[in-house]
Amino acid sequence: MTPTEPILAGFYPDPSICRVGETYYLITSSFEYLPGIPIHTSTDLVEWHFVANALTRTGQIAEHGGYPSAGIFAPTIRHHAGRFWIIGTDVNGIPLGQGHFLIHATDAAGPWSDPVYISGAMGIDPDIAWDREGTAHVTWCSLNPDEPSILSAPVDTETGAFIAPPRQLWQGTGLSFPEGPHLYQIDDWWYLLLAEGGTERGHAVTIARSPSLDDPFDAAPSNPILSHRSLPHEVQNTGHADLVELPDGTWAAVHLGVRPRGQTPGFHVNGRESFVVGIDWVDGWPVPDETRFTVPPTDRSFTDRFDATALHGRWLGVGRFPETFARPAPEGGLVIDAESRPGRAMLAARATDAVWAASTRFDAATGVGRFLVRIDDTHWYGLTYDGSTVEATIAIGPIEHSVGQWSVSPGSVPTLLMRAKAPRPLPHGATSEPDLVELALESEGTEHSFGEFDGRYLSTEVAGGFTGRVFGVQALSGRIRVDEIRYAAETSL
């Protein structure tokens, strides 16, 4: 059995990677959450550190309604001529002719430039590659029915204009949804790496090559080169890979995968995660070695009392930048303001562990707040506090159901608790649910649990889409002041 630990756990899908010297840079999709496109770095491909988000202001991406699984799709990062470059798709901008965008920075930590839009390239999952003459080529999955499959065109990076008309490179091996292209010029060949089969259980990595961009691309004889479809592996949905050359001339690749749990069909709850594999070159084709890298378990616990001058980059808004509704409180902590402007005022972070606990304390003297874990607006479990009463609610599709209330003593502020717990095994040893989500509170030294609820309803298999669970605090009305939010990679805090 090959290793199962991701390099980025939780909702970090569609990884793209580049190397500068001894340092690797990795970005992932962020969909409806802002700031967008998280950037991580590593020197060994195993231990990764968050650096920054690339999209941090409205001049780069417009705020929107937080439509589920919209926003930023499958960006690519590259380094060329002293600059980092990111090309991505904002699907909210496609109707405006502003789908594909290109930004750059001299430092991966930013600041990143305002976008240049690639007009005339309707589609998703763009890639950028420079040939040996220095011409940039943008490659994408076309959504134009008159020009299907994978298209590529040379582009002026300063204006976004095509230098020549797009050409079709390859239509894949025949599996569904050929997408996620990455184009590389290696030795005497152009290689085109694709994701095929859809980003569910049939996901796979395929590759083709050609001596030039004007000649047909020939598929590798061993396609798909990476897939876990129909295999009894703890990691499924493997695909959407990106290659990188190491300083010693060897190669590796990053790819996405999920870790489903529970009975058929299996349920993944924390989203599509990022993994790493080694790459051998055999007869001119890349062959993944899934045992080359050992990724140790990582403690991702944190406590944030919001006493820094700026929010940590882990904190996200749903279709809004956190700075539009959250600000430091003069007496300490963070004010979340539902009345600052229309739209959702939720401060969220990714859930990253199979079992975990999170807690918060917030003052609701001038508003109503909710502590919740969510996949989207219609799939969430939460605790609402109005200063006197805590109410536990579960939302499953069109149904919102209160599962209990607890009155809080005057003058006290309860600690609100959520726990993602291992499910109870059935008599034959299997489990029905991926996990159980407990909603509870602690007040005046006493803990009260509202119950444990089936985690399947907060899974991608039930809710759909491309994201994973996030948790956090939302102001429903007025203003609340958050003292702290804690997260622990265990079920007790």
E strands, 56-99, in order: 72-80, 83-90
Tokens coding 224: 């798909």
pLDDT at res. 52: 98
Q: Quickly tell me which residue has 């430092």 as its tokens.
A: 107
Count other C-beta atoms under 10 Å from residue 262's C-beta: 21
pLDDT at res. 146: 84
Q: Which CATH class, in words, describes the domain spanning 302-488?
A: mainly beta
Distance between CA 470 and CA 352 in Å, rounded?
9
Tokens coding 162: 């095509």
Taking a C-beta distance cutoff of 8 angstroms, is the pair 88, 28 a contact?
Answer: no
Where in the chain are the domains? 16-289, 302-488
Which amino acid belongs to residue 63? Answer: E
229 Cβ contact partners less than 8 Å away, ≥ 6 residues apart: 197, 201, 202, 203, 204, 236
Cα distances (Å, whole numbers) of residue 122 to 89, 149, 152, 157:
10, 11, 12, 17
CA angle 129, 225, 182 (to 5 degrees): 15
Of 344, 345, 377, which Cα lies nearest the Cα of 458?
377
Buried b (16+ CB within 10 A) or exposed e, 419-451: bbbebeeeeeeeeebbbbbbbbbebeeeeeebe
Of 27, 88, 85, 25, which Cα lies nearest the Cα of 61?
88
Of 435, 392, 395, which Cα lies nearest the Cα of 414?
392
Element (H, E) at 461: helix 460-463
pLDDT at res. 144: 86
Distance between CA 49 and CA 82 in Å, rounded?
22
Distance between CA 16 and CA 194 in Å, rounded?
13
Of 227, 203, 238, 262, which Cα lies nearest the Cα of 459?
262
Distance between CA 380 and CA 406 in Å, rounded?
20
pLDDT (tens digit, 0 to 9) for every residue of the chain, 493 residues total?
Answer: 566 899 999 999 999 999 999 999 999 999 999 999 999 999 999 999 999 999 999 999 999 888 999 999 999 999 999 999 999 999 998 877 778 999 999 999 999 999 999 988 889 999 999 999 999 999 999 998 888 899 999 999 999 999 999 999 999 999 999 999 999 999 999 999 999 999 999 999 999 999 999 999 999 999 999 999 999 999 999 999 999 999 999 999 999 999 999 989 999 999 999 999 999 999 999 999 999 999 999 999 999 999 988 999 999 999 999 999 999 999 899 999 999 888 899 999 999 999 999 999 999 999 999 999 999 999 999 999 999 999 999 999 999 999 999 999 988 899 999 999 999 887 777 788 999 999 999 998 899 999 999 999 999 999 999 999 999 999 999 999 999 999 999 877 6
Distance between CA 218 and CA 241 in Å, rounded?
19
Give 153-191 as a DSSP string: EEE-TTT--BSS--EEEE--SS-S--EEEEEEEETTEEE
Active-site residue set? 14, 179
Tokens coding 352: 């990253």
Secondary structure of residue 202 in the 3-state scheme = coil
Rg (CA), the chain: 23
- Burial environment of residue 204 by CB neighbours within 10 A (0 to 12, 13 to 18, 19 or more): buried
Distance between CA 271 and CA 491 in Å, rounded?
20
CA atoms within 13 A on the CB side of 457: 18
CATH architecture of the domain with residue range 16-289:
5 Propeller (2.115)
Which amino acid belongs to residue 238? Answer: T
Percentage helix, strand, coil for the chain under 3-state DSSP, each rounded to 5: 5, 50, 45
Element (H, E) at 463: helix 460-463
Secondary structure of residue 79 in the 3-state scheme = strand
pLDDT at res. 2: 65
Of 54, 50, 51, 18, which Cα lies nearest the Cα of 33?
54
